[in-house]
Structure 1
Amino acid sequence: MTTNEMYEKSDSAHLAEFAAPGRHWFRLSGTLRTLETLFTITRWGALAWTAQAVLDRAGVHETWGLVAFAVMGVLAVGADWTAGTLAERGARAVSTGLRQRLTGALLPTAGRISETGPAEAAWAMVDLADDVADFHARTAPLNRSAPLSMIAVLAVTAAVHWPAAIVLVLTTALLPLNMRLAGLFAQHGADRQSAATRHLNAVVLDSFRGMRTLRELGAVGRRGRTLTTAAEQLNKSTMSVLRRAFLSGMVMDVVITFSIAVNATYIGLSLLGYVQVPHAPRLDLFTGLSVLLVCPMYFAPMRARAAAFHQRERAMIGARTIRDIVKDTPAEVARAAAPQLTEPVGVSLTAVRFRYAGADHDTIRADTEFAPGTWTVITGASGSGKSTLLSLIAGLRRPSAGSVTWQTSSVRQAPALGGCAWVGQQTVLLDATVRDNIRLGGPEATEEQIRWAVDAAGLSGVIERLPQRLNTRLGEGGWGVSTGEARRIAIARAFLRGARLWLLDEPTAHLDADSEREVVEALRRATDGCTVIVATHSFTLAAAADTVLAIDDGLLHDASPVNAR
């Protein structure tokens, strides 16, 4: 077995696994599809019976034939509608299950943090989950009903007039080759469309995120042309997929039309007395019309499966992408440790190594202790791994080797997601009030607790200057605050969490000297008695630390003597 075949087999297994939440509904839908076929066969038989009765001038048979035709028609329509409804319900169950798994993998609450980019994450969440669900809604009931439906049609045809059944069997042998060609066409086209979609998603997302910078640089026009080019590439790849689908569908229709034409010609000539197959039963209007009406139903499942080949390739791409995002994520989403640690938290790094996938060397090598209740500053060149080290301590990443441990006088545990406070370089302010932005750190916080957080972060003066104090709306379309003031809002959020371990990633980056001093003072107040680990280039923060460590060529080591705070 080649490597590509092994990957394809793995993708198929994951695609089948993702159908589990809707499998019950798909089985019911497939059963009803089979019943619909039986009802339709009976309906066409009733119509042929009625036509024969009209020819024979048998009025009673005409009436009963029309009644049977109407009843079977209602039952067939009801079975079709119910089967479609059940398949849609199964699709919703599949897409909901996939989005729950993606949410658990993409958000830092699931025992791991995905390295997936935001464009691909949005693509998987919005489009690919539906691609997988729609594929299963279309094919899972068909896989259950198609063999039974085709056998039923073939059996009825053979019972009515066996030479027509032989024609169906002979032409069936041509269809698998066409379906294989349809699959090969679909795979190549779907890969190109997937790449174009991923590229367009990335361009759109980057354009929105960097719109202010693009405007300041006068590059909006150039970016617009890039966006147009990406959209045209997606349009071309989509049209290519449609052309391939049309071509494979046309070949399928030629084979089906040929089979039906052969049977129609044979039946017409037999009824006229020009052709007579030895030992074949005599044809009359009832048998001939029954065969002609039922024969197209024999090919309907194969036509549907051929059309699904194109959908299958999109679903395979979706399954592969989703698998890569959710791999190694626990089935049950792990929540932050409870109860909250109430003592200063010490951190132990024991023979820790971390290497990114595909890298040829370790990004981090660390073996050290962070004492409870101390400030530690980590310095190093940009890209040396400071932020990666903080993410290992927070539990956002797992070390490639070694272990990270949190410990107090009474507890020793692995990092618990959500169990520490994090203040980074970028402070996200929601389109909400100042109070609501601060309350993100503690949704159940009382007004008095919010006031404590404001005082601890040194925000009182800022709040007093805002037009509606804590009720002032911030963010898009609201009131603006400076970068330093936004950082202090982030400090207030972190204070409200009540965590005793604080991880700070360049908390004073891009601030002027006065703003940096104010933020450092706010941090000192807010973190009194807590363990603080800071990744920074700031000499001001380094001077406030008990210990300064440095990362050099991936190795964490002492950088300077201990300073008194």
Structure 2
Amino acid sequence: MATNERTAPAGRSADALLAAYAAAAGRWFGLAGVLMALETVFTVVRWGALAWIAQGVMDHSTAQDVQCLAVFAGASVLALVAGWTAGELRRRGARTVAGHLRRRLAGALVPTARRIRETEPAEAALTMVDLVDSVADYHAQIAPLRRSAPLSMLAVLAVVAVLHWPAAIVLILTSALLPVNMRLAGLFAQDGADRQWAATQRLNAVVLDSFRGLRTLRELHATGRRGRTLRTAAERLNTATMSVLRRAFLSGLVMDVVLTFSIAVNATYIGLSLLGYVRVPHAPGLTLFTGLTVLLLCPMYFAPMRALASAFHQRERAAVAAGAIGALVEDLPAEAPRAVRPRLSAPAGVSLRAVRFRYPGAAYDAIAADADIAPATWTVITGASGAGKSTLLSLIAGQRPPSTGAVRWMTASGWQAPALGAAAWVGQHTVLLDATVGDNIRLGRPDATDHQLEQAVDAAGLRPVIERLPGGLDTRLGEGGWGVSTGEVRRIAIARAFVRGAGLWVLDEPTAHLDADSEHDVVEALRRATRGCTVIIATHSAALAAAADTVLAIDNGRLHHANLVSAR
């Protein structure tokens, strides 16, 4: 399948995406291109001075040797400075492109983007880290070359034509073959880049899944089988990569043959002319100065073409990367939205009117809901695994928009659409960072005061846990929550939500995988923390259902009232 058809957003080709992504660093790449052209000019002067020195040595004339040495040294220094500065500008441009793309990706991957299709972590990591660099590095190489290559080649060709026009004709004839070779190489490289991208995605997914499920794999004695899967994915990536390298090597070999032939023809012609065996009618006579200068400039004429050929191979990988990035950032703002946390301190009611949600490509609705949830009540949503409870919660919390219908919050200022970040969210899996307990709680509100932190600890029933830990709130937890139990991790999540001060809580299986005692502690913590708030919980827990004011059930994707439980 063609790259653009698979990864590029509809209506935008990979070339258009690549061009759009380079715009952020156009100034740096433009300056780099000018300096690269100046580097060529200084190098031409340097080789000319060197050839003049050689002519003087041959003629036993040293009258201008000092001036020529000064010109040679000065041109060498200027060429070095221009080349180094151009390299720095190219690197700065690459950083600008990469930073611009990562900001856009951050805006696309975080929940504020309200994406219907959630990106797999392996795909997101590969895109954010590897593919962005592929696009940035490609532009750092190709963008300055597109500006400098024509100028550099014309400058060299003009000097060669002035010195000895038959040599310029040889350069023109041989360079005409190179675009054909580059085009054929690109056609072969595109399919290889597609295969390499698919193999890379597969390997990343296998590695990530393996690390996630390492404990389960070990308990099921399936590590050997998983290892074979990992080895197979790695071998497929190795095969795809070697295929790309072989095609690049073959294309480079053809180009080297053409360049070597051109330089060899000119070298042979100049040598025979200097010896007097060859004479082209109406051509100017050759001297050591003109012959040596032409020979020194021949490789310079083809140097930009070689660099463009190398970038041409990188283009296929960059095109695949641009399509993958474009699939994530298309139809999103050019810059990531600023983190603005809406306030919803009072309890809010929730209204679901003809709400339907269907995942892209699905043949049926995942959820259909019509319901009203009163403020300051507990509502439990039950249903079989996979019934759509988590999807419904994401609609209520504003994490994704419904396909049809409307979700509204009843606030003190009237009905409003869900504001992502205004509700307190506690998901099935609590993420704890490798940081202190206090820092993990403050994720819910970074500017929380010490007093607010203590209130959250008391509300979540964490005081006994904090007193047990050696450093209290300053105790550093290992990544994933080393040092605390699963039930204590859930209470940290409750404290994190409490410190937000939100009047609407949305919880997804907050007591899953807990024993009876831990579940009881978590339910009690929730009762304290959510007093006076609107609470909506998706759960299988009978204990949570018993604590609810209203129980809703999802059957076959449809939400309906199950029963009314007495108030707490």
The 2-side partners of 1:6 and 1:523 are apart by 46
State the partner residue of 1:239: 242
* 1:351 match: 354
Q: Please say if 1:67 is aligned against 2:78.
A: no
Match of 1:423 among 421, 426, 433: 426
Question: Partner letter of residue 166 of structure 1?
Answer: I
Tell me which of 74, 95, 113 is aligned to 2:98.
95
Structure 2: distance between partners of 1:240 and 1:318: 18
- Show the counterpart of 1:316: 319
Contact 2:7/2:323 (8 A) holds in 1: no
1:10 maps onto 2:13 in alignment: yes
2 CA distance for matches of 1:19 and 1:3?
A: 19
Q: Does 1:139 align with 2:142?
A: yes
Distance 2:5 2:456 in 1: 58
Q: Following the alignment from structure 1 to structure 2, what is the Cα–Cα distance between the partners of residues 283 and 314?
A: 46
Match of 1:440, SS state, is helix
- Cα displacement (A) at 1:3: 9.9
- Say whether residues 1:438 and 2:441 are aligned partners: yes
Normalising by structure 1, report the TM-score: 0.94
Match of 1:509 among 502, 509, 512: 512
Matches of 1:5 and 1:121, distance apart in 2: 20
In structure 2, list runs of 5 or more residues that go unmatched: none
Do the aligned residues in 1 keep the contact of 2:342 with 2:419 (CA within 8 Å)? Answer: no
CA contact (8 A) 1:425 1:507 kept: yes
Please state how far the C-alpha of 1:131 moved relative to its aligned partner.
Answer: 1.0
Please list the CA deviations of residues 353-404 of structure 1 after superposition, one character each: whole Å capped at 9, or x if unmatched.
Answer: 2221221222122233322222222222211211111112222112222332
- 1:202 pairs with one of 201, 205, 211: 205
Q: Does 1:108 align with 2:111?
A: yes
Equivalent residue for 1:376?
Answer: 379
Q: Which amino acid aligns with 2:72?
A: F
Aligned-pair CA distance for 1:163: 1.5
Counterpart-to-counterpart distance in 2, 1:180 and 1:155: 27
Q: Is the 8 A contact 1:111 1:334 kept in 2?
A: no
Q: 1:431 to 1:334 in 2, by over 3 A?
A: same
The corresponding residue for 1:528 is 531
Contact 2:93 2:140 in 1 (8 A): yes
Alignment partner, residue 251 of structure 1: 254
Mapped to 2, the partners of 1:170 and 1:125 lie a distance apart of 44
Does residue 272 of structure 1 match 2:271? no
How many Å apart are 1:563 and its aligned residue?
4.2
Q: Distance in 2 between matches of 1:465 and 1:157?
A: 83
> In 2 relative to 1, CA 476–335 (structure 1 residues): closer, same or farther, beyond 3 Å?
closer
Q: CA deviation at 1:189?
A: 2.1
- Change in Cα spacing, 1:528 to 1:158, as seen in structure 2 (3 Å) is same
Q: Deviations over 1:31-55 (max 9, x none)?
A: 0001011111121222222222223
Percent identity between the two aligned chains: 72
In 1: Cα distance, 2:370 partner to 2:49 partner: 83
Please say if residues 109 and 335 of structure 1, whose CA atoms lie closer than 8 Å, have aligned partners that are also in contact. Answer: no
User: Could you tell which deviates more after superposition, 529-538 or 58-67?
Assistant: 58-67
With the length of structure 2 as denominator, give the TM-score of the two structures.
0.93
Aligned partner letter, 1:27: G
Distance change (3 Å), C-alpha of 1:337 and 1:35: closer
CA distance in 1, matches of 2:22, 2:451: 49
- 1:119-518 aligned at under 5 Å gives the runs 119-335=122-338, 340-476=343-479, 480-518=483-521
Distance in 1 of aligned mates of 2:245 and 2:329:
31
- Cα deviation 1:6-52 (Å, max 9, x = unaligned): 97761111112111222211111000001011111121222222222
CA deviation digits over 1:177-204, x for unaligned, max 9? Answer: 1101221232222222222222221122
Task: Return the offset for 1:244.
Answer: 1.7
**What pairs with 1:26-41 in structure 2 (closer than 5 Å)?**
26-41=29-44
For 1:528, give the aligned amino acid: R
Kept in 2: contact 1:376–1:547 (CA 8 A): yes
The CA distance in 1 between the partners of 2:104 and 2:398, in whole Å, is: 19
SS in structure 1 of the partner of residue 392 of structure 2: helix
Cα separation, 2, equivalents of 1:281 and 1:319: 51
What are structure 1's unaligned runs of at least 5 residues?
none
Deviations 1:48-68 (A, max 9, x none): 222222233332233322222
How much is the aligned-residue C-alpha RMSD, in angstroms?
A: 2.3
CA distance in structure 1 between the aligned counterparts of 2:333 and 2:418, rounded to whole angstroms: 16
User: CA–CA distance in 2 between the matches of 1:326 and 1:113?
Assistant: 13
Q: Is the alpha carbon distance of 1:458 and 1:342 closer, same or farther for their aligned partners in structure 2, counting shifts above 3 Å?
A: same
- Residues 111 and 330 in structure 1, CA contact (< 8 A), matched pair in contact too: no
Task: Tell me the distance in 2 between the aligned counterparts of 1:5 and 1:306.
Answer: 25
With over 3 angstroms needed to count, the CA separation of the structure-2 counterparts of 1:4 and 1:509, relative to structure 1, is closer
How many correspondences in the alignment? 564
Question: 2-side partners of 1:564 and 1:476: how far apart?
Answer: 39
2:337 is paired with a residue whose SS is coil
